[in-house]
Amino acid sequence: MARLFSIVLLVAVVLAGCSQRPDDATITRAVQQQVRAGLSDIDALADRLGGDSAVKMLRAFGAPDPGTLHVQHLEVLDAQRLDNGDYTMKIRYDLVTPDNSRGVTRTIQLRGVADGWRAVAYDPATNGL
């Protein structure tokens, strides 16, 4: 009987660990990676269309260099675990560049991947499904 209890307890602990949402540091890294990737895509498009001068024009109009952008002071306002294991979260954070900082509140979806969590496009029409 004691052995059965130990097995049940172990399974419960493992399942509880699997159902916990990612911690704030993990969410911060995923969001920062997503925002930087989006800016890098814009830079790449500008470079293809107008070369280095187009990228310089983006900077002149205030678009930050993706490598200088940081997500700070992240706060999870709401988190819902989806049936597929992803999380839909309403978050608030400061988007910080060398020139300024601004608060952002948005809904994201985090998807579990082999090396951790990735922020992916959130579609409010499907509620992340």
Residue 74: inside a domain: yes
Domain residue limits at 73: 22-120
Angle at 6 between CA 86 and CA 17, to 5 degrees: 15
Judge whether 23 and 117 are in contact, CB under 8 Å: no
Residue 102: inside a domain: yes
Residues 125, 45, 119, 35, CA torsion sign:
negative
Using pLDDT thresholds of 50, 70 and 90, give the confidence band for residue 60. very high
What is the per-residue pLDDT across 99-109, written as a single tens digit (0 to 9) for each?
Answer: 889 999 999 99
Is the model more confident about 16 or about 106?
Answer: 106
Measured in degrees and rounded to the nearest 5, phi and psi for residue 104 equal: -130, 135
Find all residues with CB under 8 Å of 40, minimum gap 6, and list them.
66
Indicate the number of domains in the chain: 1
